[in-house]
Amino acid sequence: MSDAFCSDCKRQTEVVFDHSAGDTVCSECGLVLESHSIDETSEWRTFANESGDNDPVRVGGPTNPLLADGGLSTVIAKPNGTTGEFLSSSLGRWQNRGSNPDRGLILAFKTIATMSDRLGLVATIKDRANEIYKRVEDQKSSRGRNQDALLAACLYIACRQEDKPRTVKEICSVANGATKKEIGRAKEYIVKQLGLETGQSVEMGTIHAGDFMRRFCSNLGMNNQAVKAAQEAVQKSEEFDIRRSPISIAAAVIYIITQLSDDKKPLKDISVATGVAEGTIRNSYKDLYPHVSKILPGWYAKEEDLKNLCSP
């Protein structure tokens, strides 16, 4: 129920909405205040155990400005029944014979969407990756290149530009077999092509060790106090000239934090969770060790606690 002004009662009264008739009725005098209202809510509910073949949707998908027809082209389905199958197969053959300039783009967008879902990325990153791929594809210079590596590189660049970076190893894990080297080459190729298109260098965004910290800590199952300490420590580390990659610094900070907590994590587990080699973590720890007293927050570790850290 909600309140509305009733012209008969001359005041605000509670009104009832009749969904079957589309009428808004005053609950006190019964006057129909509004008739034939349009119900904008969903006309069905979808449950997880329902068959995928019984799709109640009677409308198409949203428009896509990156496609020539806006994504509104007609696709002939396969109805049940022998006559329907014959009709469908005939029309289907004619449809396949027709040239669809967006067929390659649609398949590429589906692949990007699948990779995004597997990484748990938001829709804005997926849309940015689609846009990057469309700009590269419009230059007609990507023929013969590894398509999976190209799509993975688009996703990597989109993550960087949206300030939600992912490591190359994370992207590689969903890239349908494309290697880190192939993705790296594809990334350089895309950056070069986009630079030629705009006449200026492509802004990739700056990577900070803190961008990876919460995700890495979550992979290791660290408690909230340890996660907070790690985030503060990694921000402090940026004040020092530590010539290591942000991912290596993040892994080394996590190693330090866990060694000072009751729930110590072995170096092997940290390496698996962060994708950084054990030797690289040790070397980064060696570079961080002289600054530990200034990097770690005082509420997490006292001066005497730092003596428990092993010497690099």
Q: What is the pLDDT of residue 181?
A: 93
Give CA–CA dist 251/271, Å, rounded.
8
One-character DSSP codes across 215-236: HHHHHHT--HHHHHHHHHHHHH
The structural domains of the chain, ordered by start, are 1-47 (2.20.25), 64-100 (no CATH), 102-198 (1.10.472.10), 209-307 (1.10.472.10)
Q: What is the pLDDT of residue 68?
A: 72
DSSP reduced 3-state for 148 = helix
Contact (Cβ atoms closer than 8 angstroms) between residue 139 and residue 193: yes
Query: How many other CB atoms are there within 10 angstroms of residue 296's CB atom?
Result: 25
Contact (Cβ atoms closer than 8 angstroms) between residue 180 and residue 172: yes
Contact (Cβ atoms closer than 8 angstroms) between residue 269 and residue 237: no
Structure tokens at 196: 């030629």
Q: What's the pTM?
A: 0.71
Give CA–CA dist 305/312, Å, rounded.
16
Q: What is the pLDDT of residue 307?
A: 81
pLDDT tens digits in sequence order for the chain, 312 residues long? 678 888 888 888 888 888 778 888 998 888 888 888 776 666 666 555 555 555 556 666 667 778 776 666 666 665 555 445 545 566 666 666 555 667 788 889 999 999 999 999 999 999 999 999 998 888 877 777 889 999 999 999 999 999 899 999 999 999 988 999 999 999 999 998 888 877 777 788 788 888 889 899 998 999 899 999 999 999 999 888 888 999 999 999 999 999 888 888 899 999 999 989 999 999 999 999 999 889 998 898 888 878 878 877
DSSP reduced 3-state for 276 = coil
Contact (Cβ atoms closer than 8 angstroms) between residue 24 and residue 33: yes
Q: What is the pLDDT of residue 310?
A: 80
- List the beta strands (DSSP E) in 19-76: 23-26, 32-34
Burial of 190 (0-12, 13-18, 19+ CB in 10 A): buried
Please tell me the total number of residues recorded for the chain in this structure: 312
At position 110, the amino acid (one-letter code) is K
Q: Give exposure, 20-44, as e/b (b: 16+ Cβ within 10 Å).
A: eeebbbbeeeeeebeeeeeeeeeee
Contact (Cβ atoms closer than 8 angstroms) between residue 273 and residue 220: yes
